[in-house]
Structure 1
Amino acid sequence: MSIKNKIKNFFTMDEEYEYVEESMEQPDFPATTARDNVVNLKRIEKMNSKVVLCEPRTYNEVQEIADNIINRRAVVINLQRTDLQQAKQIVDFLSGTVYALNGKMQKLGSQTFLCVPDNVDVSGSISESFAEVEEFNKGW
C-alpha cells in the first residue's frame, strides 16, 4: 500500500464505516407498567407548601428565619414586638438572604413581611390605608 493510499484511508476512514439501512417502523419497546410513569403529586405538593410564621423579638433570631428561607419555605415575619432599630436590621438581613436565593420579599402590612424563595410564586398585592403608611414611615 502506498503512502498516498494510507493517507487517504486515514482521513476518509472508508474501512471503518458500515452503512446500515434503517427502516421507518416504530421500534419495539418493552412493555412498561403504568406505575413506571406515575409521579406522586402529593409528595411534590407537600415539599413546596410549608409556610412558617415568625415573630422575632431580637436580631439574634434572624438566622433561624433565614434558615427556613434557605430550606425553601415561605416565611411571614411580624415585627410588631421588635424595637425599630432591630426590626430594620432583621429586614436588611432577610432581604439579602432572599436576594441571594433569587426569592422575593413583599410587605404585607405596616410591620409584616413575606419572604419567599424562588420556588414560591406570589400574586396580588395588599394595599395599606394612607394613615397606616404615614404612621409607619415616621419610624422607618
Structure 2
Amino acid sequence: MGVMNRFMNFLGLQEEEEIIEREQAYDTNGEPEEHAGEVRKVKNNVVSLHSQKTSKLVLCEPRNYEETQDIADHLRMRKGVLVNLQRVRPEQAMRIVDFLSGTVYALNGAISKVGPNIFLCTPDSVEIQGTITDMVNDNA
C-alpha cells in the first residue's frame, strides 16, 4: 500500500479495505519461514466506548431572540442547555421556545419546563427522567 493510501486510510477518507500482509516467522534455527498471506480487515469507524467522559450542561440566559441560534448550536454539539427566559419580554420568550422546540424535535431530543420561564433542552443522547410540577398548581 502506498504512502498516499496509508495517509487517506489514517484520515478515514477511505472505506473498509482488505490488507494482505506477508509475515515471516523465524523458526528455532533462525531461518525465516514464509507463511501464507494473512488477511485482516481495517475498519475506520471504530469508536471508543469511553470517548465522551463528561456530559456538559450549558446555562443560557438570552436577552433577545438573536441569541437563540447560539443555544441551538450547543444542542447540535450534543450538549444539554438550561434556558432562563426571565429577562426577555413574554412575546420574545414564546418565539424562543418555539424555535428551540423545533430544534429539539429535529435532533430527536426533548424539552421540559422546569420552572417559570425556565426550560431544559436536551439532545437525544441525554434522557430526562421525572417531572417537576408547578407550585401554583399544588396550592390550588
Q: Distance in 1 between matches of 2:104 and 2:70?
A: 14
TM-superposition CA deviations, 1:73-122 (whole Å, max 9, x none)? 00000000011011000000000000001100000001100000000011
2:89 corresponds to which residue? Answer: 83
TM-score by structure 2 length? 0.62
1:59 corresponds to which residue? Answer: 65
* Unpaired runs of at least 5, structure 2: 1-47
1:105 corresponds to which residue? Answer: 111
Structure 1 residue 92 corresponds to structure 2 residue 98: yes
Q: Distance in 1 between matches of 2:120 and 2:139?
A: 17
TM-superposition CA deviations, 1:19-67 (whole Å, max 9, x none)? xxxxxxxxxxxxxxxxxxxx563x4222xx1000000010010000000
Q: How many residues align?
A: 93
Q: Whose RCO is larger (CA < 8 A, sep 6+)? A: 1
1:127 corresponds to which residue? Answer: 133
2:52 corresponds to which residue? Answer: 44
Task: Please give the secondary structure, in 1, of the residue aligned with 2:63.
Answer: coil
Deviation of 1:131 (Å): 6.0
TM-score by structure 1 length? 0.62
* Unpaired runs of at least 5, structure 1: 1-38, 135-140
Q: Distance in 2 between matches of 1:118 and 1:133?
A: 34
8 A Cα contact 1:108 1:114, kept in partner: yes
% identical aligned pairs: 49
Q: Distance in 2 between matches of 1:103 and 1:121?
A: 8
Deviation of 1:133 (Å): 10
8 A Cα contact 1:110 1:133, kept in partner: no
Larger radius of gyration: 1
